[in-house]
């Protein structure tokens, strides 16, 4: 599905909820059971005020499946636990995937002006490996990892001798596919600086006319994987440690208990001195003491 289609699908669903014209009604018991399930499966909390949103987003599933009502949908969901196709579709429908290229631009500036120069000089002194590992946890449709990949590939000091890998993961299989495809509309790329656009994108032809395709060299820097952040253990090699973790605008949907546990686990996967970037409305204050706050929702794991 094209990015534009995914957007209009969600906009359509959200629009209908705003107008209060969803086709199917969620009874109290069904809302309780679906929101408990969504929480258990994804960590996403759905307060009472998200009821209309859930109703609108899942109404489309009920309609697509040709079911008479939410009672039948709940029955199907029960039968498909824990990992049937409809469980995946339900998760894809309830996630919120808003993202954009160079969102919260100061994070990319910080990597460019602080993290990369420090790593390259440490390696030049023989005090560190020429290796950079990044994890974008909750990458949505890919704009965030592609933005960072552009910044890294632009940083000349990390030359051919460097082993650079970005892991980009999400629980939503639809957005992950769009991220892998790397095809964006003109609207999407409006926040990409022109010289980056020239160097890292191709203008689409034929069915992709008017669209922009990420060049293979940039795409090859990133491994896109389906990872539920709640899964324990994560499907990562025991030897996988990261220098940078971006987990931005993901934990706003989680409660404090889930956040606490997640940040503890990120800390254990970061190299000493590694950086954690979270969203502008998120904080580790009162949640995790495993990091030093640098400012601007950037945190560092202590070196010792």
Does residue 138 belong to the site contacting ligand SAM (CB under 6 A)?
yes
Residue with structure tokens 């599933």?
61
* CB-based contact 254:282 (threshold 8 Å): no
Among the options 35, 57, 61, 248, which is catalytic?
Answer: 57
Q: Which of 30, 55, 144, 188 binds ligand SAM (CB under 6 A)?
A: 144
Question: Judged by CB under 6 A, which stretch of 32-40, 59-67, 98-106, 270-278 contacts ligand SAM?
Answer: 98-106
Q: Decide whether 172 or 243 has the Cβ nearer to ligand SAM.
A: 172
Q: Is 265 in the active site?
A: no
Q: Is 180 in the active site?
A: no
Query: Between residue 220 and residue 239, which ones bind ligand SAM under the rule CB under 6 A?
Result: 228-230
* Assigned token pair, 82: 């824990």
Among the options 7, 60, 170, 188, which is catalytic?
Answer: 170
Distances (CA, A) of 285 to 110, 212, 219, 301: 21, 39, 35, 15
Q: Which of 249, 259, 288, 297 binds ligand SAM (CB under 6 A)?
A: 249
Q: Which of 16, 17, 22, 140 binds ligand SAM (CB under 6 A)?
A: 140
**Pairing relation of β-strands 211-214 and 183-185?**
antiparallel
Sheet holding 183-185, edge to edge: 183-185, 211-214, 201-203
Does residue 80 belong to the site contacting ligand SAM (CB under 6 A)?
no
Each residue 32-71 as x (binds ligand SAM by CB under 6 A) or -, in order, gives ----------xxx---------------------------
Question: Judged by CB under 6 A, which stretch of 50-58, 127-135, 246-254, 267-275 contacts ligand SAM?
Answer: 246-254
Question: Judged by CB under 6 A, which stretch of 110-118, 136-144, 158-166, 266-274 contacts ligand SAM?
Answer: 136-144
Binding-residue total with ligand SAM (CB under 6 A):
25
Active site residues: 57, 170
Site residues (vs ligand SAM, CB under 6 A): 42-44, 95-99, 103, 138-140, 144, 170-172, 175, 228-230, 248-250, 253, 279
């Amino acid at each position: 599905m094209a990015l534009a289609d995914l957007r209009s699908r969600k906009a359509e669903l959200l629009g209908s909820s705003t107008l209060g014209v969803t086709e199917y009604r969620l009874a109290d018991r069904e809302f309780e059971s679906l929101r408990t399930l969504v929480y258990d499966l994804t960590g996403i909390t759905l307060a009472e005020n998200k009821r209309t949103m859930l109703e609108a987003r899942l109404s489309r599933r009920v309609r697509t499946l040709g079911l008479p009502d939410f009672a039948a949908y709940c029955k199907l969901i029960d039968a498909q636990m824990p990992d049937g196709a409809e469980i995946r579709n339900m998760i894809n429908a309830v996630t919120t995937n808003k993202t954009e290229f160079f969102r919260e631009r100061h994070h990319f500036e910080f990597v460019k002006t602080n993290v990369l120069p420090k790593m390259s000089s440490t390696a030049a002194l023989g005090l560190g490996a020429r290796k950079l590992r990044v994890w974008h946890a909750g990458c949505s449709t890919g704009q965030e990892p592609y933005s960072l990949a552009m910044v890294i590939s632009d940083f000349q000091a990390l030359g051919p001798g460097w082993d650079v890998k970005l892991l980009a993961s999400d629980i939503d299989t639809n957005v992950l596919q769009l991220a892998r495809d790397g095809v964006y509309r003109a609207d999407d790329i409006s926040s990409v600086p022109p010289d980056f656009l020239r160097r890292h994108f191709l203008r689409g032809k034929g069915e992709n006319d008017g669209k922009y395709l990420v060049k293979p060299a940039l795409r090859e820097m990133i491994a896109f994987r389906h990872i539920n952040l709640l899964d324990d253990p994560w499907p990562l090699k025991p030897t996988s440690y990261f220098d940078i973790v971006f987990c931005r605008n993901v934990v706003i949907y989680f409660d404090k208990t889930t956040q606490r546990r997640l940040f503890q686990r990120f800390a254990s996967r970061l190299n000493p001195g590694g950086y954690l970037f979270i969203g502008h409305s998120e904080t580790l204050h009162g949640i995790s003491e495993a990091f030093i706050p640098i400012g601007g929702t950037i945190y560092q794991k202590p070196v010792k």
